[in-house]
């Protein structure tokens, strides 16, 4: 039973592939690819997959000149994390398009807040 449990623990809760690494979660899982794909980041994780998530994030955030791109990256990773948590805690593997929709809503809310913030600072002058 312990062996079986260990084996089960190494299985991705979404794709059921035998890989539960952070790299699988963030880049390699088919569900993650579906969440990354509609973003404007245009990543191709099929190329150069040997990097760790930590190295990727460190390098990506270092070379990315645009804050919007960093925010977009964090949002996609957040969406992947939420999708994974729904599979782990609710045993529901949602359609990745629902995550993309939620992320797009978040973007809209963020832009609305940012614009209100700008308007607020102008009206205070």
Rounded distance between C-alpha atoms, residue 87 and residue 12, angstroms: 9
* SS3 (DSSP) at 106: helix
Site string for Zn ion, 13-42 (x = CB under 5 A): -xx-x-----------x-------------
Rounded distance between C-alpha atoms, residue 74 and residue 106, angstroms: 12
Closer of 17 and 109 to Zn ion (Cβ): 17
* Whether 53 contacts 27, CB under 8 Å: yes
> What minimum distance in Å lies between the beta carbon of 17 and Zn ion?
5
> What minimum distance in Å lies between the beta carbon of 10 and Zn ion?
11
Residue 75 binds to Zn ion (criterion: CB under 5 A): no
Positions touching Zn ion (CB under 5 A) are 12, 14-15, 17, 29
């Amino acid at each position: 039973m312990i062996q079986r449990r260990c084996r089960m623990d190494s299985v991705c809760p979404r794709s059921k592939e035998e890989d539960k690494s952070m790299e699988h979660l963030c880049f390699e899982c088919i569900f993650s690819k579906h969440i990354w794909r509609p973003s404007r980041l245009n990543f191709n994780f099929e190329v150069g997959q040997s990097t760790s998530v930590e190295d990727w994030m460190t390098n990506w955030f270092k070379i990315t000149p645009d804050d919007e791109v960093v925010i977009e990256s964090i949002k996609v990773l957040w969406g992947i994390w939420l999708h994974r948590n729904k599979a782990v805690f609710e045993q529901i593997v949602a359609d990745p398009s629902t995550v993309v929709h939620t992320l797009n809503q978040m973007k809209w809310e963020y832009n609305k807040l940012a614009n209100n913030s700008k308007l607020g600072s102008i009206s205070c002058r």
